[in-house]
Amino acid sequence: MPRKMPIDGEVNQASQVEEDAHFDFDLFVIGAGSGGVRAARFSANYGAKVGICELPFHPISSEVNGGVGGTCVLRGCVPKKILVYGANFGGEIEDARNYGWEINEKVDFNWKKLLQKKSDEIVRLNGIYKRLLSNAGVKLYEGEGKVAGPNEVELTQLDGTKLKYSAKHILIATGSKAQRPNIPGQELGITSDEALSLEDLPKRAVVLGGGYIAVEFASIWRGMGATVDLFLRRELPLRGFDDEMRAVVARNLEGRGINLHPRTNLTELTKTEDGIKVRTDHGEELLADVVLFATGRAPNTKRLNLEAAGVELDKTGAVKVDEFSRTNIPSIWAAGDVTNRMNLTPVALMEGSCFAKTVFAGQPTKPDYNHIPYAVFSIPPLSVVGLSEEQALDQANGDVLVFTSTFNPMKNTISGRQEKTVMKLVVDAETDKVLGASMCGPDAPEIMQGIAVALKCGATKQQFDSTVGIHPSAAEEFVTMRSVARRVTASGKPKTNL
């Protein structure tokens, strides 16, 4: 018999009728992305009988296509990072000349070869995720899942036939999908899905947006030789990040040859013989081979029939959940981007793990959203953990100390590349606790993962200072920043609209 559901150490008092009822599954998961697969596998390891459904695999998602592995693995973080690696070689080849490598003036780049390698890798990963589910004893169904009631899922198979399964618990893990702006000609643009599978590398690319996806694809295409114009609604990219670091990223993007258009929006796209004509709200016009809309993502809930069970959604369409990822319907849960909490793959994994512990291991566990590190894989990358300077001041009771280090990476002293690495620590003046860390420069994500452990453990600035550095490395700068760049009081909070 499926276990009872404990919350805050107490067993949930389900009715005897519910306890005695027979269910096809202890858990049925709709959506086999990172969070769904993690929840399914861990729940099965705790002894639950688990079913999971996912749309058939295709690199570009739609209402009828998806794939086991989800957005991150198939059309997000993983293929994006492969393209970032590919784009990085453009700059590396330039830099190699001053390191003695005699390289012919013209170096050809074969986009189709990289695209095929990328495709081969995501097909391989799709197979690995299927095997992970199978090895855990999870029953995988291919098709579209919908909620038919508090304890019932309807599955539409590939041939159109419908099946229904009962489950004591249902987990919604359908992620999110890219959005397009409502402008004339928007059908001529693409989203990140299509950008990862373009048949031809664009020579002229226009990117609309200022978030992760926008700056990453701008960096990718520029690194591969395209002319790139990046249109931002604000003055700086990456709203929500530390303002000082946002300015560093903007400077680096421009230094790499990307044309930034701050406080500018697109108003219309028109197809012409020479490409796509792009018109802006400033009256500018330019031609592009591709226009990427990196204008946000929305929770993927429209086709789930959640209203049938009375599941509450917020105004963005996200599933509303409590601290344990439970909806207002006790038998229905949700994890990952579909809840629009912190939309990162490792966070979806954490939420899936916590769900399984809470429901099937008798260990009520709330996801912990403190000190989660994250990275923007621009070229060079930005990575952060903890609070930005603005967030620290907003939450501070007293003064905040800011430590910064700006330097020319050792590699650049020989290559001649004019691109600074910037590091930053934000410290509580009273407790000496390090509240946040940021870095923009080569290897920033690799370095920040280690810094995140320190912040999670509550490290102080004195402990950073007493740590011996690795020399010569960029990372050692985090333990050698002795001088306070500035001391800011909470009353002097910077207000920004950048």
Q: Is 471 a catalytic residue?
A: yes
Let me know: does 299 contact 316? Beta carbons within 8 Å. yes
**Dist. CA 457–CA 475, nearest whole Å:** 19
- Catalytic: which of 22, 58, 261, 471? 471
Backbone region of residue 94 per phi and psi (left: phi > 0; alpha: psi in -120 to 50; beta: other values) = alpha
**Dist. CA 225–CA 202, nearest whole Å:** 9
Helix/strand/coil (H, E, C) string of the chain? CCCCCEECCEECCCCHHHHHCCCCEEEEEECCCHHHHHHHHHHHHCCCCEEEEECCECCCCCCCCECCCHHHHHHCHHHHHHHHHHHHHHHHHHHHHHHCCCCCCCCCCCHHHHHHHHHHHHHHHHHHHHHHHHHCCCEEEEEEEEEEECCEEEEEECCCCEEEEEEEEEEECCCEEECCCCCCCHHHCECHHHHCCCCCCCCEEEEECCCHHHHHHHHHHHHCCCEEEEECCCCCCCCCCCHHHHHHHHHHHHHCCCEEECCCCEEEEEEECCEEEEEECCCCEEEECEEEECCCEEECCCCCCHHHHCCCECCCCCECCCCCCECCCCCEEECHHHHCCCCCHHHHHHHHHHHHHHHHCCCCCCCCCCCCCEEECCCCCEEEEECCHHHHHHHCCCCEEEEEEEECCHHHHHHCCCCCEEEEEEEECCCCEEEEEEEECCCHHHHHHHHHHHHHCCCEHHHHHCCCCCCCCCHHHHHCCCCCCEEECHHHCCCCCC
The set of catalytic residues is 471
